[in-house]
Structure 1
Amino acid sequence: MSLLVALPGLAAAQEAAPARDATTLDTVQVTGTRIKKAEIESQVPVQTLTRDDIERTGLTSIGDVVQELTGAGSALNTKFNSSGNFGFSPNGDGVGAGSAQVDLRHLGPKRVLVLVDGMRWVNESSASGVGAATDLNTIPLAIVERIEVLEDGASSLYGSDAIAGVVNIITRRNFDGGQITLNYGQYGEGDGELKGFDAAWGYNTDRANLFLGLSYVDQDPVFSRDRELSRVPVPGLGVETGSSATPNGRFIITPATASTACPLTDTDDDPSTPSIPFCNITTPNGSSFPNGVRYPQDFIRFTGANRYNFAEQNMLLTPSKRTGVFGQFRYHFNDNVQAYVKALYNRRESVNQAAPEPLFLGLDAGTGNPWSEHITVSRLNPYNPFGFDLTTEGANPNLVLIGRRPVEGGPRIFEQEVDTKYIAAGVEGSFDVGDRTYFWDVNFASNKNEAEQTNRGSYNIRNINIAVGDPAVCAATPGCVPLNLFGGPGTITPAMLQWISPIVRDRSEQKLQTFTANLSGDLFEAWAGPLSFAAGYEYRKYEGFYSPDPITVAGYYNGTQSLPTQGEYDVNEAYVELNLPLIKEGSFGKSLDLSLAGRYSDYSTFGGQFTPKYGLRWQVADEFLLRTTYAEGFRAPSIGELFGSASRADLQLSDPCLISITGSPATGNRANCAALGVPAGATQANSQISVQTGGNPDLEPETARSFTAGFVYSPAWAAGVPWSDKFDFEVTFYRHSLEGAVQAIDAQTQLNLCVQTLDPTYCGGITRSSVGGINSFENKLTNLGSIKTSGWDVDFFWTLPETSLGQFKVSWQNTFVTQYDAVGAAGQVQPRRPGVEVNDSAIPEWTSNASLSWKRNAWTASWTIRHISDMTEICQASALDSPYCDNPVTGDNKLDAITYHDLQVGYHIDWLKGLQITGGVNNVADKDPPVCLSCSLNGYDASTYDIPGGRFFYLRADLRF
């Protein structure tokens, strides 16, 4: 990977660039400034991934490529099996199942601005909400010429949501001839097959150039059951950490009389009240009773051995098919005016899979759905083995929990179809005024994402409620068939399934229309050089909606009711950027430049805001550059964050008031837990707790301040000498500070603070059943107090002289995160910090990428090393007995550092314009990721590490003609 560290007279890439004439230099455009001047290319730190850099990764997704950058944080990708229990975002804006996002500086994907050729790209459509981030899987990698990544605040240059930085994807343009590329890859275990086909064709004349591209990628899945690490819910433990919703069923009731299966129990911790019978029972594992079960003879006590291993049905890598067509045409009317038009269509077809959907019914159902919490299993139901009503109603409710998993209906399948349509047109040119040249451009773009998600294997809880109730009511309801929840696997018939299992279809859409006009050039000659400027106007209109299935809107879906979301807003913005030379060559160095920029944004939802940026660039010598920037920014809440309706996220939480599912004692203050209505000895039924998320119309914009400072050193003593052609060394310090960040308080933190303080601020959204379990948990978005993060980027690039052994190049890039503090509006310290894994995301203190590339005649090779430093996590209560939990007393677990090695070899054949054959292996040493006991999926952090058993082999053939 190369870095834009251009100095006057020095090339920006790692190899010497061909000489360019002055006119070409004057029209250079680079991410990080709107002024078209080569002399200020290195004003800000911009990391550039060339086409060669991208191909060296062996990856086929832009998202996967940028997620390997050292400054990237945790973000969704196809390793997240993100539907099912994990199907909604804690941010209330939906989860883009099958998407790939980018996070910079660990500030979240919604704070990264994604551009394509300098123009904004539309936000994702997820079919589960109106997202605030960009799905990079909507942009085919095959059309990319390079990717430029700006990792400092750039709101003043590009708009409010560039708080964490900018990813600018530059498409291929000047391409002459044709190219066909075939890709094939597979994991060493024989799964996860990847097939790809790219075709490109370009034609250039004196006045016009045309580029057409076609891309197809087909990624097969990898299942959790096929890797040792991910076969069970908690690595190192068996099914005892699984779900209490089992094919045989778990039944917690209070019958009239005691029995062996239901002994007398003091359920309310009050010695003055008598003990009552309490059943926590199931049918024997592996048994089914097609003729009905009998109570109490056919029941046994429910233990950890009776739980269900839901992990086997998950995916480590989700299947994805992506087809994209792209074209652009550019015509030069004369030397000063040219016009362009470009268009793209991309379709993504992806699938997520989760275990057969669990049914939780009763006081302790914890779903937040009244149909599952207000229910009666009639004594007249032909499949009720108890002979009395099981009910949550009345003065003496006796139904605490039914946990039944209808495996007869198969796993939950979530199929996404996402269509992206983009068209842009513009005119650009230049004109002279005296001896000065001015550049102008006018652009329009329309971008739309449409998504539909089809869900098979979920259930209609209202129909279930009717089917277990009074048979007379069921008989009077068209289509109703009495439901057998007690007979064990195989006893839910196809007729029963037809009544309770619908096909659920959700839709969402986002639109973005953009108009921009820009002007740049030199205003006048100042004492140290020309005062350069860029100025412009931008108009944007955002529209989005989320349309859930009618049964979800009605509250019949087996989960939290979700209502439609719809909203729109527009933005008018004007900006100006100035570059003023303060000192020209003399005793203070070669030059000192001051850059000033400001943008005024007027939002139809929040009014106006001004964001400034200041920068200094001191060229001390030809080989040494100092630079610093300070920027302010703000980000207005997105459509989903403002208007998103309530939805459900099933999160891995430990209830301090309850005994864990593996028997670990409750850790919360006993008196406080009693005040919350939790009886002593109450047990947490499941480690997944349903949390209601959603938008908040009272949100305010978040504000930000960003600071960078650093240097670039390209020593003359390491240039053009026997041991070195070129050597570059770059160091950058960064600091970002956000106030009023739009974010929900960490759910585990909220629960812990509720138990510790009984403060309504934390407890107001949490309610409990009469037996102590959480049955509703509201965790809506707020304006969090602050997020502060800082760190260092340290990069080296070394090009060795070409010899008889060939030519070698070395690059080594590092990011050190020294601070990350998040504090809630009321002072709640959030758990994320450097070196800590929490909520399926990590902030490593040190990430490093090093690569050695070699070229000799027709041969090429590369060796890439990716390092992630060690981290710690808090073991969930259900995982304290795992051998992977280092300290069960404190609950701390260490995730060891890991180093991945990737190798690639290529050979060039002189056939037509060239045939390049390339083969490679990623994760050569077959390193498994460190076990994560707090992660929601598959026992590891899918946004940080390669999949377990992840040695990946690939082969690519690239023919040019």
Structure 2
Amino acid sequence: MHHPFVRTPISAVVAAVALGILSSPVIAQNQRGASEIEEVAVVGSRIKRSDEVVTSPVQTLSADDLRVSGSVSIGETLQELPSVGSSLNGNGSAGTSHGSSSLNLRNLGENRSLVLVDGHRWVNGAGTRGFRDFVDLNTIPQAIVERVEVLQDGATAVYGADAIAGVVNIHTYRDYDGADLKVYYGAAGEGDRETASLDYLWGTNYDGGNLMVAVSHTDQKPIFTQDRELTAVPLNGLSAGTIEGVFRESNLASVLDGYASAGVTRDPGSDGSVPASWRAVDAEADQFNRYYNNYVVGPLQRTSVFARNRTELTDNIEFSVEALYNRRESDQLFSSAPPVIRGSRGFVIANDPLVNPFGVEFSGSDFRVDNYFDDVGQRRNAQEVDTLRLAAGLEGELRNGWSWDAFVSWAQNEADFISYNQIDLDRLALGLRACDTSAIGGDIADIAAGCVPVNLFEPLTGEMVDYINFTGRDRNSAEQRDFTFNVTGDLFTLPAGEVAFAAGVEYREESGEDRPDSYVQADPRVNSYQTTTSAPRDGTMGEYNLGEVYAELSVPLLRGMSLVQDLTLDLATRYSDYSTFGDTTNSKVGLAYRPVDDLLLRGTWAQGFRAPSILEMFEGARSTFLPVNDPCNGGGEGLVGCAAVPDSYVQQGPNVPGEVGGNRNLQPETSENTSFGLVYTPSYLEGASLTLDWYGIAIDDTISTFGAQNLLELCATTGQRCDYVSRAANGEILNIVDGPINLNRTEVKGMDLVARYGMETALGGLDLTFNASRLLDLTQESTLPDGSILVEDKVGTAASRESFPEWRASLSAKLSADKWSASYTARYIGTTEESVADESYGIPAVIYHNVSGSYDVQDNLNLKVGINNLTDKQPPVSLTNLNINFDQNTYNPVGRFLYMQVNYSFDS
């Protein structure tokens, strides 16, 4: 279907520029002197400028800034910016990033932060149980990054949707000439988290062009829970049961003396076929740490190849083509397969000596085996994510000095998700029946073939393990096609200067597909629960396309007057037409006022828009486990939503069954962004600058999950939304349905301060930078079923995998001489408070200290050594972050980390 606006404004702009190219004579080679300042487009505007009069706050990170702490990924560095909130990283196992790295600007979520590379969109991530709706920074190799610009303001009018919280523009090397090899090795003070990296960057200028190639490989080893005191034992308690298993069945009372309703277990190492080996369960002694040997920080391998060729077709037209391949391998460790055997789920242990030494069948409704299949091994989920991106571009200049560019790209993230050491529950159920198929209807020939009787009363044999072991294989992908055309130049001259203009069109297609393992999805044929211990989910696919046209103006109002050195008005508007939601227009107004040379005052007002992502709309329903504290535990002490829960009910473990998925009834988000700030560069203090900005972002129809814990508490205390929570007659939670919905409103306000000072000392040049962000307000409103409004103020609070401290800050100092340099950085995360069972617990502030030093051994050989987290600071304890005991999306659990890096530059 063709959209009308695509046939008119877009075609008109393209035609006009094409006509200008064809009708203009070839421009003579640029004769500008070397001293002339190059015009560039700074993130937040498509207009090329030669001055610093920008209305929006932009923070630029140089190559030195990005590599000062010796990080091996762009995500690790950007996540430490004070303006970035809790973000997905490599920490933890359960429910985490599955190897991806995100950026959460302004604490508004990674899918409201737009990530660009050289001003162009990057494909969304993949590699978890379903595709992502944000850019995975682990798909962008750090070796090609020259600098990063962070726009801390809304930019929907300039770049389109998803730029509500801000924009990160990652610039790659453009005219690299030479060859550079970087070898890196580091390890934590505990001897783990070994990290090795190799980057090779090569480029050469040739007659009329430049060719660049970058190759990199990084290998990061894991840290295990038992190797850190903080994570060795989950603070929310161990799981009830033993590796040998806890058996419950009323028939056992007839064959075992001292049988208790709590069940019986076997003494370790004893003969399970002898009744004397079995004893009543001791609730205090018989506990199992299912999180032993999980990851505190997971392993990660990345390999990438990037190539770009730029060629001058004429004196004023350049053609470029580039390609990237990136492979990411990551995995997570979990406990061995958890308890699943219940009589109510169709499991039976036959009265057969091959599988049962007691001479009675176990099949009653009270039959239950609580065991972890330790003999099968720990479950391991592995991701293999391949990123492929191809792009080509043209750029040039017109006779009147205007410049234009066209860019087209195709990119895809494709992931294999492999689940090792799961259990085939149908095979297990048949094995427990001693392979007797007589009572089973339907075709189970594939399951019965090679059936091995499974005896749970003794350690499993290798044959038993091979028969019931299952490996699941899912595949998912995200794909993007994008075309942009931009033109910029000066329209006419006003008394205060040139009126600058930019306009352009963009057409983009986004799609995602999730193909879960068909066997996992199949209906069970022997048991009545599910086919395997892998969580089933519905496969899904979704796509949308959009066409956009935008225009920008930069109007100099006044210049060169007393108390008005410069007054500039910036205007931008963008029209977008979505195949899923129709059209929308969003605009932006900015004003920059320089009363004197030393001071710039600026302010912006902007509209924002974010359409629901493919993931939010089309994600297939999947089963999972959600960490919660059940308020109905023990009957709920009279809570209205716990009336049907018996007093005898005790929550058996912190993780309960849940279901998450997409919501096709979602509506788009809209936002209003406001910012005011100043830039002060005192002439009396050369090398000093100060920027201070206030921002406010209000989002309507916020798309968010209500949260499993919130659903439970809302149901318990008010009786509302209890239909999202399913319970058994004994009170046990059978399922919680938690998916994305449009909440009423989210509002965030804050302030940013960046102070820089550079000076010469007797030892060398000293550069100081202080960067701080203060969160003034973060309020989320949602309408409850009774029509009342629930208002949550998150400033200073902490919850599961997210923290909202009022203050975040960083300080860096670098001293440089001819052959050596030394650096110190400190990162501050302020205090927060978490609530557990209506009790509040304070989480203290944390400061990480990093030091490094480098020395030029030769002109082309540099050696760098450093220590991150010099004081070996561990994350603060958190009781809401169940099982791992700290907020893994906010704090660094590695501890002291030492590294060495060697850079060798080859003669060009």
Regarding TM over 0.5, the answer is yes
Q: CA deviation at 1:935?
A: 1.0
Tell me the residue number matched to 1:504: 472
Tell me the residue number matched to 1:460: 424
Q: Is 2:556 the counterpart of 1:556?
A: no
Q: Is 2:90 the counterpart of 1:78?
A: yes
Cα-to-partner distance string for 1:514-565 (whole Å, 9 max, x where unaligned): 0000011111223432221111000111121111112222152315421211
Tell me the residue number matched to 1:112: 113
Tell me the residue number matched to 1:730: 691
Tell me the residue number matched to 1:886: none
Residue type of the partner of 1:804? A
Tell me the residue number matched to 2:373: 406
Residue type of the partner of 2:451? C
Classify the secondary structure of the residue corresponding to 1:156: helix
Asked whether the 8 Å contact 1:596–1:614 carries over to 2, the reply is yes
Equivalent of 2:808 in 847, 861, 883: 847
Equivalent of 2:339 in 349, 359, 368: 359
Classify the secondary structure of the residue corresponding to 2:66: helix
Cα-to-partner distance string for 1:554-588 (whole Å, 9 max, x where unaligned): 15231542121112111111111111122222134
Equivalent of 2:238 in 242, 245, 258: 242
Q: Is 2:450 the counterpart of 1:479?
A: yes
Q: CA deviation at 1:212?
A: 1.1
Equivalent of 1:443 in 407, 414, 437: 407
Residue type of the partner of 2:778? Y
Residue type of the partner of 1:246? T
Q: Is 2:894 the counterpart of 1:893?
A: no
Q: CA deviation at 1:816?
A: 0.6
Equivalent of 1:635 in 591, 595, 610: 610
Alpha carbons of 1:453 and 1:658: their partners in 2 closer, same or farther (altered >3 Å)? same
Alpha carbons of 1:254 and 1:526: their partners in 2 closer, same or farther (altered >3 Å)? farther
Tell me the residue number matched to 2:320: 340
Tell me the residue number matched to 1:795: 754
Q: CA deviation at 1:667?
A: 4.5
Identity %: 35
Cα-to-partner distance string for 1:575-623 (whole Å, 9 max, x where unaligned): 1111112222213411111111111111111111111111111112111
Q: CA deviation at 1:97?
A: 0.9
Asked whether the 8 Å contact 1:47–1:149 carries over to 2, the reply is yes
Equivalent of 1:515 in 483, 496, 501: 483
Tell me the residue number matched to 2:60: 48
Q: State how far apart, in whole Å, the 1-side matches of 2:560 and 2:394 are.
A: 38
Q: State how far apart, in whole Å, the 2-side matches of 1:930 and 1:285 are.
A: 38
1:776-815 aligned within 5 A: 776-800=735-759, 802-815=760-773
Q: Is 2:656 the counterpart of 1:689?
A: yes
Classify the secondary structure of the residue corresponding to 2:561: coil
Q: Is 2:674 the counterpart of 1:703?
A: no
Tell me the residue number matched to 2:886: 940
Q: State how far apart, in whole Å, the 2-side matches of 1:37 and 1:443 are.
A: 21
Asked whether the 8 Å contact 2:555–2:570 carries over to 1, the reply is yes
1:201-212 aligned within 5 A: 201-205=202-206, 207-212=208-213
- CA RMSD of the aligned region, Å? 2.4
Q: Is 2:508 the counterpart of 1:540?
A: yes
Q: State how far apart, in whole Å, the 1-side matches of 2:295 and 2:466 are.
A: 27
1:60-75 aligned within 5 A: 60-75=72-87
Q: CA deviation at 1:81?
A: 2.2
Q: State how far apart, in whole Å, the 1-side matches of 2:706 and 2:258 are.
A: 40
Q: CA deviation at 1:693?
A: 0.6
Q: Is 2:718 the counterpart of 1:717?
A: no
Q: CA deviation at 1:408?
A: 0.4
Asked whether the 8 Å contact 2:231–2:884 carries over to 1, the reply is yes
Alpha carbons of 1:358 and 1:870: their partners in 2 closer, same or farther (altered >3 Å)? same
Asked whether the 8 Å contact 1:127–1:507 carries over to 2, the reply is no
1:81-96 aligned within 5 A: 81-82=93-94, 86=95, 96=97
Q: State how far apart, in whole Å, the 1-side matches of 2:495 and 2:369 are.
A: 82
Asked whether the 8 Å contact 2:639–2:716 carries over to 1, the reply is no
Q: Is 2:131 the counterpart of 1:130?
A: yes
Q: Is 2:399 the counterpart of 1:432?
A: yes
Q: CA deviation at 1:96?
A: 4.5
Tell me the residue number matched to 1:837: 798
Residue type of the partner of 2:419? N
Asked whether the 8 Å contact 1:690–1:777 carries over to 2, the reply is yes
Cα-to-partner distance string for 1:124-152 (whole Å, 9 max, x where unaligned): 11141021011111111011001111121
Equivalent of 1:952 in 885, 897, 906: 897
Aligned residues: 858
Gaps of 5+ in 2: 1-31, 523-529
Alpha carbons of 1:683 and 1:702: their partners in 2 closer, same or farther (altered >3 Å)? same
Alpha carbons of 1:541 and 1:220: their partners in 2 closer, same or farther (altered >3 Å)? same
Cα-to-partner distance string for 1:792-814 (whole Å, 9 max, x where unaligned): 111111111x2332111110000
Gaps of 5+ in 1: 1-19, 87-94, 264-277, 364-371, 660-665, 720-725, 878-889
Asked whether the 8 Å contact 1:25–1:37 carries over to 2, the reply is no
Alpha carbons of 1:79 and 1:444: their partners in 2 closer, same or farther (altered >3 Å)? same
Q: Is 2:642 the counterpart of 1:673?
A: yes
Tell me the residue number matched to 1:590: 565
Asked whether the 8 Å contact 2:355–2:454 carries over to 1, the reply is yes
Tell me the residue number matched to 1:367: none
Q: State how far apart, in whole Å, the 1-side matches of 2:697 and 2:241 are.
A: 45
Q: CA deviation at 1:284?
A: 4.5
Q: State how far apart, in whole Å, the 2-side matches of 1:727 and 1:162 are.
A: 31
Q: CA deviation at 1:932?
A: 1.4
Asked whether the 8 Å contact 2:603–2:674 carries over to 1, the reply is yes
Residue type of the partner of 1:483? V
1:237-276 aligned within 5 A: 241-244=237-240, 246-253=242-249
Cα-to-partner distance string for 1:69-105 (whole Å, 9 max, x where unaligned): 00111111112324xxx2xxxxxxxx64111111101
Classify the secondary structure of the residue corresponding to 1:498: helix
Asked whether the 8 Å contact 2:424–2:470 carries over to 1, the reply is yes
Q: State how far apart, in whole Å, the 1-side matches of 2:531 and 2:793 are.
A: 36
Equivalent of 1:524 in 477, 482, 492: 492
Q: Is 2:298 the counterpart of 1:331?
A: no
TM-score (normalizing by structure 2): 0.90
Q: State how far apart, in whole Å, the 2-side matches of 1:839 and 1:134 are.
A: 22
Q: State how far apart, in whole Å, the 2-side matches of 1:381 and 1:793 are.
A: 72
Q: CA deviation at 1:196?
A: 0.9
Asked whether the 8 Å contact 1:626–1:712 carries over to 2, the reply is yes
Classify the secondary structure of the residue corresponding to 1:642: helix
Residue type of the partner of 1:407? D
Residue type of the partner of 2:239? S
Q: CA deviation at 1:327?
A: 1.2
Q: State how far apart, in whole Å, the 2-side matches of 1:533 and 1:771 are.
A: 69
Residue type of the partner of 1:836? T
Classify the secondary structure of the residue corresponding to 1:39: coil
Q: CA deviation at 1:349?
A: 1.5
Q: State how far apart, in whole Å, the 2-side matches of 1:917 and 1:568 are.
A: 49
Tell me the residue number matched to 1:825: 783
Tell me the residue number matched to 2:40: 28
1:101-180 aligned within 5 A: 101-180=102-181
Q: State how far apart, in whole Å, the 1-side matches of 2:665 and 2:887 are.
A: 33
Tell me the residue number matched to 1:859: 820
Q: State how far apart, in whole Å, the 1-side matches of 2:421 and 2:890 are.
A: 30
Q: CA deviation at 1:255?
A: 5.6
Alpha carbons of 1:24 and 1:114: their partners in 2 closer, same or farther (altered >3 Å)? farther
Classify the secondary structure of the residue corresponding to 1:313: coil
